[in-house]
Structure 1
């Protein structure tokens, strides 16, 4: 959906994606080649981004190293993407058509201050982007439609969540009542939805009610959920709640609107082609969790296991309904998984490998399409994952040395112990520095920390600190220690099998 942005803004989004996705410097040559523009344009776009969103980020440039982005600790870069979407004429038109379908071109030209040619161009861009998601937009009059109404509802649910999130509410419906209904449905049907999924359900309810009010009902009801809606009495208990939410709209809902509502909302838990398919997905999900657990030799609580199994089931059901990209411009999972991939290298590799095997077995894009999302959700749902994975890493053996003597070396050791605790196993020089030269050739440590360069030690494992370690010293040590502890020889052996 990035194509809905103006060409210049689309280019800047691509640039922002590349800079935000890297932890180091990126050359302007690489950026220019990736985005297919000149280096001059790259520099101008960097200046534009920094000038406009200086509260969110800083872009540093270096002739030697290239370009890098530094984000503000007080603002989320996610808000930049939201602002970009909200300022896009094409996205504004698409959203407006959702709320006011069946309006003629003249209406939109007047309301959005567009010329006839601009409206025609924007609608062409929107139609092209929607086509990739099996959705269409008619222009005589303007409205969004498709072969599967549920796909349209799902698409707009994803759109509104990305643009408005939990803090804003774009609908003329009672937010509190909708969230209360979402929680009741979750509890009644044991859906085990987490907070983000509750939000998704709430938005789905709002979008469904609005589409029904506009007369867009689900026509094709061939899968088993149809019989579920017709025969399940419990679902009827929610009709009063839904009617109360829809009451402020002051409209007469079409016939069979409530069956349509249930048919749309309950698809993820009941919309299976057959019961055996659901059983197989749950079985494969259980095996996936067991494989990851055994490969890492870490424990998992029963609630965490159940939650992850439900996640896999949920992803499978969502993909059956909507096998397309779920985001418009900002892939939140991509950036959150970036940190997981950096800090949980072995966990990431094991999950990636397991999903790759499962993808081939089930012929389903578990790794190709959902790796980032599964990493993100597993990190949340696997209780104490950070502690468990940290405990499986070995302690770095560290020898502390000082040319000011063993008393000073003891001081350095106490500073390291206070900052790194069980991450390191500390040894301290036992003799006075002036009594003999330090010979480390016969000793084997992972790291040597000293306030001087040790000639008999490879400089790559000799970290030199100030007499009283500075903040930078400790930061550099932390990066080094954490990186060395991420991958062990036994882990490499497993990953290569």
Structure 2
């Protein structure tokens, strides 16, 4: 994901990644390893500290610098803090979660000019096209290999938010949880202890959230990507209606 960051944020990412898990290091050591001028590193430290609070890069004339954070935080929090500064990531996320009729509408939502948005998308696509998908400025959507698009957004949401509750609307979370409940009720053999832990359920919810968002936009997987028929899910009428109202799709389109 970091390769999609703007150059200054990618520099922040590299500095943070180097400092994680280390004690004191000197600016000179950091500059030599990352091949970044010492002056630029000092400036970057001030910029990073503006948005990673309560984590902080501490400085000492005697020892150098180090990254500190409370025990309840982890490296994910700091990386996510960097991602949240990125206009590139904001564009990608908005295209994932919402539907925009034109590029002008998205530009207005992001408070940038349409020409600036086009330039940023062109930069983003230089990275994405290598993986078989890209942002189409006419449809204002991600196009290409649908399987890869869904996996990309799955990784994106987990890396930026970790927990789906931080980004998905409550109504959609309830529908997804009901769907998971009905799935395990119909296939109890899959309901092992390893599938009941929070980390697994959070990943499952995230995958379903992305699938619903893509289905709502009319984006479907190829037939060879669909799940084996032995796991075809027959939804209750109540849940089917909720899905139809929320996502405007027929429940036969659901691929688990």
Offset at residue 143 of structure 1 (A): 1.0
Residues 1:250 and 1:78: Cα distance change in structure 2 (over 3 Å): closer
Secondary structure of the 1:26 match is coil
Summarize the alignment of residues 241-390 of structure 1 with structure 2, pairs less than 5 Å apart.
243-249=240-246, 251=248, 253=249, 258=252, 260-262=253-255, 265=256
- Normalised to the residue count of structure 2, the TM-score between the two structures is 0.82
Whether the 8 Å CA contact 1:160–1:203 is kept in 2: the answer is yes
> 1:306-343, CA deviations, whole angstroms, 9 ceiling, x for partnerless residues?
xxxxxxxxxxxxxxxxxxxxxxxxxxxxxxxxxxxxxx
Secondary structure of the 2:234 match is helix
Residues 1:16 and 1:261: Cα distance change in structure 2 (over 3 Å): same
> 1:86-115, CA deviations, whole angstroms, 9 ceiling, x for partnerless residues?
332111111111233463222222221212
Cα distance in 2 for residues equivalent to 1:248 and 1:212? 13
Secondary structure of the 1:154 match is helix
In the other structure, the counterpart of 1:135 is: 133
Cα distance in 2 for residues equivalent to 1:132 and 1:59? 38
- Normalised to the residue count of structure 1, the TM-score between the two structures is 0.45
Secondary structure of the 1:237 match is coil
In the other structure, the counterpart of 2:55 is: 56
Larger-gyration structure (1/2) = 1
Secondary structure of the 2:232 match is helix
Offset at residue 33 of structure 1 (A): 2.9
Residues 1:207 and 1:239: Cα distance change in structure 2 (over 3 Å): farther
Cα distance in 2 for residues equivalent to 1:153 and 1:208? 7
Offset at residue 8 of structure 1 (A): 1.7
In the other structure, the counterpart of 2:27 is: 28
Residues 1:115 and 1:36: Cα distance change in structure 2 (over 3 Å): farther
Whether the 8 Å CA contact 2:100–2:106 is kept in 1: the answer is no
Secondary structure of the 1:25 match is coil
Q: Is 2:149 the partner of 1:152?
A: yes
Whether the 8 Å CA contact 2:100–2:140 is kept in 1: the answer is yes
Greater relative contact order structure (CA < 8 Å, 6+ sep): 2
In the other structure, the counterpart of 1:161 is: 158
In the other structure, the counterpart of 1:221 is: 223
Cα distance in 2 for residues equivalent to 1:92 and 1:169? 12
| Structure 1: runs of 5 or more not aligned | 266-497
Residues 1:9 and 1:70: Cα distance change in structure 2 (over 3 Å): same
Residues 1:35 and 1:103: Cα distance change in structure 2 (over 3 Å): farther
Cα distance in 1 for residues equivalent to 2:210 and 2:129? 20
Question: May I ask how many residue pairs the two structures share in their alignment?
Answer: 250
Cα distance in 2 for residues equivalent to 1:58 and 1:75? 14
Cα distance in 2 for residues equivalent to 1:160 and 1:16? 20
| Structure 2: runs of 5 or more not aligned | none
Cα distance in 2 for residues equivalent to 1:57 and 1:69? 6
In the other structure, the counterpart of 1:195 is: 198
In the other structure, the counterpart of 2:96 is: 98
